[in-house]
Amino acid sequence: MTAPIQARVFQCAAELLGGPRQLSDRLGVSPGQLSRWMANEETSPLPAFLGAVDIILASEEGFAAIFSSRAATLH
């Protein structure tokens, strides 16, 4: 089973930036908070989620990764 979209978005954005620490710094949140969002234990605030989406959309590699994995789960 694939991870919910929130978790996948944060995971993808973290990979693009070099890891969760870099993403938490970029978003201005604690590493622990980001970890809970990445594990889908808590729902993130919309600005944090959209910040991660912006990181992905700014990267051709990230855009393809998040949407190709989503398309695969729809079939």
Indicate the pTM of the whole model. Answer: 0.79
Residues 35 and 10 sit within 8 Å (Cβ to Cβ) = no
Domain boundaries 5-74, CATH class: mainly alpha
Burial 29-52 (b: 16+ CB within 10 A, else e): beeeebeebbeeeeebeeebbebb
- Write out the two tokens for 74: 């729809």
Per-residue model confidence as pLDDT tens digits over 2-55: 568 999 999 999 999 999 999 999 999 999 999 999 999 999 999 999 999 999
CA 35 to chain centre: 11
CA 4 to chain centre: 10
